[in-house]
């Protein structure tokens, strides 16, 4: 089927490369070059942006120790800071956006606003910030707190944090820099204003000491799942990214976010919603199915997956017997939405079955296994049904390999383009304008 082009983002993190498989990358990704090449491939394929997920601690959620995380290089460790990597990528690309994750728990607002402004200038208006509030006690403890504040409080604080940042981003009027050589004036001081933000949790005098960046403020991404998180996302995000259960769940999420965005006074089309997927691609459907089955079996797969889901939910899944259903409906102060999808409460499935269903702990809103043409068709059908805006693509098991990226950029994307479902060139320079375009 032919349809209207949708948006594509790539979801990854500054973590270890593929080091165990047949097509391992053979090197250390820590100088960032591996990711720079990844971004170049994604730019060739006209992706809207590459998003760098991030966390601020080495998890000990699985079995009360960091062992599984360090052994498998999974979950949160080792993980490097995404912002310098984004700067490297900007130096080696000219179109693709890069979205870095930064937590309202970690950065004082002034530092974050200054960093975003600097990054967006370096990027020529292609920088995005994925707003997170952090969801782990250990992250909170890395910043001197005893434990993570409750979710509701985290969002109350984040709301105030945003108001403070908006004030700082707007502390320079768009035409403050005049660079008047005749009169000898670089910036007009009457157009740079203190902010004097005084909140319950944050205070900042301002103004920023960086010039206003091309986008004014970075493109904002957010992935709220709880009612309060969804309200926050609908109010602030240019692009909401989500993990939902199947077509029904995706549609419910979209309708809810759009209703909340309208209630918050947002203009129609101002908020885009993109769904996390992890397609499994092969030369034939049989090959893709075989690949899927192989990737989702074995003891290492089980341990890796349980460790990953433990780190995301801050729940110790090592404590539960593998071949029995979970003892009750679990809740968390961490990522409840991901937990809900994982635990399939009421299904009666054993923990082992839940792990297999979750495809290596990497949630995919819908199962997409097949040839590039088959998967492109399924993606088009999903968007036609949901009326959605696009997808955030990751690899099954969150494995960073060149092969997995190329299967998408040089296999799936051409199949989408053939159907008119994906653009073939970049039109807008600023990331926000690109996302706003239909
Ligand atoms: C696609 C996606 C990406 C996310 N990336 C991050 C991330 O990089 N760092 C982080 O701490 N949380 C991340 N989260 C968690 C969200 O910020 C959010 O906390 C989660 O969806 C649960 O929603 P809630 O906070 O409303 O409970 C991500 C969630 C999703 C669905």
Q: What is the pLDDT of residues 52-95, one digit of tens each?
A: 999 999 999 999 999 999 999 987 789 999 999 999 999 999 99
pLDDT at 241 over 80: yes
User: Which range among 105-109, 130-134, 384-388 shows the weakest confidence by mean pLDDT?
Assistant: 384-388
Q: How many degrees, rounded to 5, is the angle at CA 199 between CA 193 and CA 202?
A: 85
Q: Which atom of ligand 1 is nearest to the CA of 233?
A: 26
Q: Residues enclosing ligand 1, CB less than 6 A?
A: 53-55, 101, 130, 132, 134-135, 151, 223-226, 229, 241-243, 276, 335-337, 392
Distance between CA atoms of 70 and 76, rounded to whole angstroms? Answer: 9
Q: Is the previous residue joined to 78 through a cis bond, with omega within 30 degrees of 0? A: yes
3-state secondary structure (DSSP) of residue 179: strand
Confidence (pLDDT) at 192: 98
Tokens of 252: 């419910």
Q: Give residue 285 CA to ligand 1 midpoint distance, Å.
A: 32
Query: Helix 299-313 crosses helix 336-343 at what angle (to 10 degrees)?
Result: 140
Tokens of 25: 């990358």
Cα-atom radius of gyration of the chain, to the nearest Å? 22
Rounded average pLDDT over 406-413: 98
Query: Helix 151-169 crosses helix 227-236 at what angle (to 10 degrees)?
Result: 10
CB 299 within 8 A of CB 291: no
CA atoms within 13 A on the CB side of 282: 15
pLDDT at 28 over 80: no
Confidence (pLDDT) at 76: 73
Q: Give residue 49 CA to ligand 1 midpoint distance, Å.
A: 17
Q: Which atom of ligand 1 is nearest to the CA of 337?
A: 22
pLDDT at 130 over 70: yes
pLDDT per position as a tens digit, 169-223: 999 999 999 999 999 999 999 999 999 999 999 999 999 999 999 999 999 999 9
Confidence (pLDDT) at 361: 46
Residue to mutate (ligand 1; options 234, 253, 335, 393; most atoms within 8 A of CB): 335
Residue to mutate (ligand 1; options 135, 254, 311; most atoms within 8 A of CB): 135
Prediction pTM value: 0.96
Backbone angles phi, psi at 202, to 5 degrees: -135, 145
Which residue has the CA at smallest separation from atom 3 of ligand 1? Answer: 223
Distance between CA atoms of 49 and 126, rounded to whole angstroms? Answer: 8
Which residue has the CA at smallest separation from atom 14 of ligand 1? Answer: 223
Q: Give residue 20 CA to ligand 1 midpoint distance, Å.
A: 27
Residue to mutate (ligand 1; options 11, 12, 223; most atoms within 8 A of CB): 223
Distance between CA atoms of 36 and 94, rounded to whole angstroms? Answer: 12
Q: Give residue 50 CA to ligand 1 midpoint distance, Å.
A: 16
Residue to mutate (ligand 1; options 61, 104, 132, 150; most atoms within 8 A of CB): 132
Confidence (pLDDT) at 362: 54
CB 129 within 8 A of CB 166: no
pLDDT per position as a tens digit, 364-384: 899 999 999 999 999 999 999
Residue 240, Cα to own-chain centre: how many angstroms?
9
Q: Give residue 256 CA to ligand 1 midpoint distance, Å.
A: 17
Q: Which atom of ligand 1 is nearest to the CA of 13?
A: 8
Q: Give residue 287 CA to ligand 1 midpoint distance, Å.
A: 32
Which residue has the CA at smallest separation from atom 13 of ligand 1? Answer: 132
3-state secondary structure (DSSP) of residue 413: helix
Alpha helices, H only, 346-426: 351-357, 372-386, 402-407, 413-418
3-state secondary structure (DSSP) of residue 30: helix
CB 435 within 8 A of CB 238: yes
Distance between CA atoms of 371 and 368, rounded to whole angstroms? Answer: 9
Which residue has the CA at smallest separation from atom 27 of ligand 1? Answer: 226
Q: Which atom of ligand 1 is nearest to the CA of 222?
A: 17
Q: Which atom of ligand 1 is nearest to the CA of 334?
A: 27
CB 16 within 8 A of CB 73: yes
Q: Give residue 424 CA to ligand 1 midpoint distance, Å.
A: 30
Render 113-154 in DSSP notation, one character per residue: HHHHHHHHHHHTS-EEEEEE----HHHHHHTT-SSPPPHHHH
Q: Give residue 22 CA to ligand 1 midpoint distance, Å.
A: 31
Distance between CA atoms of 121 and 36, rounded to whole angstroms? Answer: 19
Q: Give residue 335 CA to ligand 1 midpoint distance, Å.
A: 6
Which residue has the CA at smallest separation from atom 6 of ligand 1? Answer: 53
Distance between CA atoms of 375 and 426, rounded to whole angstroms? Answer: 23
Q: Which atom of ligand 1 is nearest to the CA of 54?
A: 8
Rounded average pLDDT over 391-395: 95
């Amino acid at each position: 089927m032919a349809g209207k082009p949708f948006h594509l983002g790539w979801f990854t993190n500054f973590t270890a490369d593929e080091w165990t498989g047949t097509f391992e990358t053979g090197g250390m990704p820590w100088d960032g070059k591996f990711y720079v090449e990844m971004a170049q491939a994604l730019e060739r394929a006209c992706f809207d942006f590459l998003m760098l997920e991030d966390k601020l601690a080495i998890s000990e959620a699985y079995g009360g120790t960091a062992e599984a995380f360090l052994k498998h290089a999974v979950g949160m460790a080792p993980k490097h800071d995404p912002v310098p990597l984004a700067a490297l990528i900007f130096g080696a690309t000219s179109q693709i956006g890069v979205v870095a994750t930064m937590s309202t728990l970690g950065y004082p607002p002034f530092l974050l606003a200054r960093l975003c402004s600097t990054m967006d200038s370096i990027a020529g208006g292609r920088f995005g910030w994925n707003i997170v509030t952090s969801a782990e006690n250990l992250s909170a403890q890395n910043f001197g707190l005893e434990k993570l504040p409750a979710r509701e409080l985290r969002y109350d604080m984040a709301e105030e944090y945003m108001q403070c940042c908006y004030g700082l981003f707007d502390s320079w009027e768009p035409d403050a820099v005049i660079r008047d050589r005749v009169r000898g004036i670089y910036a007009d001081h009457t157009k740079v204003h203190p902010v004097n933000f005084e909140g319950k949790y944050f205070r900042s005098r301002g103004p920023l000491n960086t010039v206003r960046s091309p986008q004014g403020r970075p493109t904002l991404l957010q992935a709220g799942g709880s009612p309060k998180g969804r309200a926050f996302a609908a109010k602030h995000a240019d692009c909401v990214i989500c993990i939902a259960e199947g077509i029904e769940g995706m549609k419910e999420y979209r309708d809810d976010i759009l209703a909340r965005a309208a209630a918050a006074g947002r203009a129609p089309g101002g908020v885009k919603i993109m769904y996390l997927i992890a397609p499994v691609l092969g030369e034939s459907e049989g090959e893709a199915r075989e690949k899927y089955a192989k990737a989702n079996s074995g003891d290492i797969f089980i341990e890796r997956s349980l460790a990953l889901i433990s780190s995301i939910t801050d729940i110790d899944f090592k404590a539960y017997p593998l071949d029995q259903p979970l003892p009750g409906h679990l809740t968390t102060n961490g990522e409840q939405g991901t937990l809900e999808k994982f635990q399939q409460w009421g299904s009666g499935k054993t923990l082992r079955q839940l792990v297999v269903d979750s495809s290596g702990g990497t949630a995919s809103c819908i199962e997409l296994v097949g040839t590039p043409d088959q998967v492109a068709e399924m993606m088009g059908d999903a968007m036609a049904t949901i009326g959605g805006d696009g997808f955030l693509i990751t690899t099954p098991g969150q494995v960073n390999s060149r092969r997995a990226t190329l299967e998408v950029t040089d296999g799936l994307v051409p199949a989408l383009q053939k159907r008119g479902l994906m653009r073939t060139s970049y039109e807008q320079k600023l990331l926000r304008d690109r996302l706003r375009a239909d």
